[in-house]
Amino acid sequence: MDFQMMRVQSLSEGGIAEVPAQYIQPPEERPPISDDLTIIDNSDEENVPMIDVFGFDSEQRDTVCKLIGDACAQWGAFHITNHGVPFELLDQIRGVGLSFFKDCPDKDKLKYACDPNSPASQGYGSKMLRPEAEAETSTVLDWRDYFDHYFDHHTLPLSRRDPSRWPHFPSNYRQVVAHYSDELKLVAQKLLGLISESLGLPTSCIEDAVGEFYQNITISYYPACPQPHLTLGLQSHSDMGAITLLIQDHVGGLQIFKDSRWITVHPQSHAILVILADQMEIITNGKYRSAQHRAITNSSSPRLSVATFHDPAKTVKISPAFELTSNSSPPKYREVKYGDYVSSWYTKGPKGKRNIDALLINS
């Protein structure tokens, strides 16, 4: 059987007892056996902060800014509630995503398959890096399938949004994704303002540095895995762009690396998880660090997540904010053109935070 050409969902639903070799992580990357979510219970463990943003009410702004600043500095991630995105829409985006993977016939899914000669963030697929990068780094594959509204599937800017290239199944898929895109853009803009203010910067400072959002939405499906202690649903990495907004289903599996250990993020059905990405770390001159995270698998239940990435244009040059540097606090990161950063990420592979760490001036 040619496992390389099969989607992970097909492998899982085919009833295999052992994971094919290309999905087996090296020993140092494997999650502990206790991290199989069919047996783990970390309900009493320290977890990502939950912040009520009160509908971004101006009367609560100072309090919310303080909480967000603390979460950014300590975690690089936090949940928000009362964010203004309708609960029905959160349920709908999860619903259409799950229906695409579970109910759409394989022959129809494959109409949107990734180009095997390009990074697999162009449609439906299972692989992420460029083929030459996989050959050079012996990259282990993630135990997941996904549909990524990226490159030819951009959700923003509107000039590059082309719903005709998105799945037609279920029938409301395109409408839901477009609506979700618009709502999440508004939330991301408001959050950048709060993060700027939490650092004592003008409200528009970080958004001005990022420029017009290049947004893409990744719907990831993590099938049940017969050997979860050997695999990862998504390898350890920090996101490339500015800010990521993520929702997951009730199963859970996302982990954030903090204080030299992996902490499983408790699923929160109608909260949005905010994840700081690498360009945010550069702009804040390391005062706020991007969150290193991964996804683990389990042996009994498939999992779905929806990540909405907000990135600069590839022509934008990113550097530490002038207001956060001085003679006593010089820039810690070299300026980088975002397109070059993306190319490096896809060529070298993520491997934790090595791409952002490579920009440290004293590295």
pLDDT tens track of the chain, all 363 residues? 444 446 899 999 999 999 999 999 999 999 987 656 544 445 546 899 999 999 999 999 999 999 999 999 999 999 999 999 999 999 999 999 999 999 998 888 878 776 655 654 445 555 555 455 544 445 799 999 876 644 345 799 999 998 888 888 999 999 999 999 999 999 999 999 999 999 999 999 999 999 999 999 999 999 999 999 999 999 999 999 999 999 999 999 999 999 999 999 999 989 999 999 999 999 999 999 999 999 999 999 999 999 999 999 999 999 999 999 999 999 999 999 999 999 998 888 888 899 999 999 985
The DSSP secondary structure of 237-259, one letter per residue, reads E--SSSEEEEEE-SS--EEEEET
Q: Which residues contact 318 (CB under 8 A, 6 or more apart)?
A: 209, 210, 279, 282, 283, 312, 335, 336, 337, 338, 341
DSSP state of 39: T
How many whole angstroms separate alpha carbon 46 and alpha carbon 261? 11
Q: Are 165 and 153 in contact (CB under 8 A)?
A: yes
How many whole angstroms separate alpha carbon 255 and alpha carbon 265? 6
Q: What is the pLDDT of residue 125?
A: 53
Q: Are 217 and 289 in contact (CB under 8 A)?
A: no
Domain 49-117+143-358: homologous superfamily in CATH: B-lactam Antibiotic, Isopenicillin N Synthase; Chain (2.60.120.330)
Q: Which two tokens stand for residue 257?
A: 């690396």
List the one residue out of 187, 147, 151, 153 whose CA is nearest residue 170.
147
Q: Are 99 and 169 in contact (CB under 8 A)?
A: yes
Q: What is the pLDDT of residue 154?
A: 77
How many whole angstroms separate alpha carbon 215 and alpha carbon 149? 9
